[in-house]
A = this chain, B = another copy of it.
Amino acid sequence: MTAPSLPLAEFVVGVDNVIFSVDTDQNRLLVLLVQRQQVPFAGYWSLPGTLVRQGESLEAAAYRTLAEKIRVSNLYLEQLYTFGEPARDPRETTYGKRYLSVSYFALVRFADAELIAGGECPVQWFALSTCPELAFDHNKILAYGHRRLCNKLEYSPVAFDVLPEYFTLNDLYQFYSTVLGANFSDYSNFRSRLLKLGILQDTHQKVIRGAGRPATLYRFDREAFAPLKDKPLVFV
């Protein structure tokens, strides 16, 4: 790092979390939002975030602010992207410091996630398809998070972390369609590709959904997947 010829920028650093879930009953991709009570953007919905405190790691700040808003088992936050260009936060003008945001990302199982009411700010799941205009540049952060989620679904078995233990191939297809958009692949290609990977265990049990024919229930075969874990694979 060389001696600067212009003054260095001073920064306040925040973290913002893009928490996705999939409501498999209604085939909706959901994102967790909180309603801001303070200026700037009072009344606007935003990603759950906070400013980093002295002695606190970025990750710790991200987990801290979520712990006040949602109870969920096995929450694993992954760093997403850092947004730090000038003027992304109107408080920069007021306080003369730039506000940088390190964003984090997680996909959580809908049935396991309990929203905590009675906190400082209202907390709510929003369908991504009807997401309002958010505070700051949070729509941009959210769009970035959605691209990462699609990417993870394509290249990793993350779907099986949040689906119910037993599922039909159609359940799985619906899940992928909900996140990646309809027609991401035709059903028969999807089905043959996934079965070929050899990571779905046929339980030899059938289930009837609606008026359809009985469909086989599968489960994710973690033992069969173990030797493939570090190999590049495509899941869609």
Is A56 interfacial (CB-CB < 8 Å)? yes
Contact between chains at A8 and B84 (CB < 8 Å)? no
A contacts with B: majority SS: loop
* Minimal Cβ-Cβ distance residue in B for A83: B58
Minimum CB–CB distance from A108 to chain B (whole Å) comes to: 21
Residue interface bits A111-136, CB-to-B below 8 A is 1, else 0: 00000000011000000000000000
- What is the CA–CA distance of A19 and B52 in the complex, to the nearest angstrom? 30
From residue 5 to 47 of chain A, which have CB atoms closer than 8 A to chain B?
6-14, 38
The 8 closest A-B pairs by CB, nearest first: A154-B232, A11-B11, A6-B53, A57-B85, A232-B234, A82-B82, A58-B84, A9-B54
Hey, which bits of chain A sit against chain B, CB under 8 A? Answer: 1-4, 6-14, 38, 49-58, 65, 68, 79, 81-82, 84-86, 98, 100, 102, 120-121, 154-155, 232-236
Extra pairs beyond A10-B12, A58-B82 (5, CB < 8 Å): A7-B54, A8-B53, A58-B84, A58-B85, A233-B234
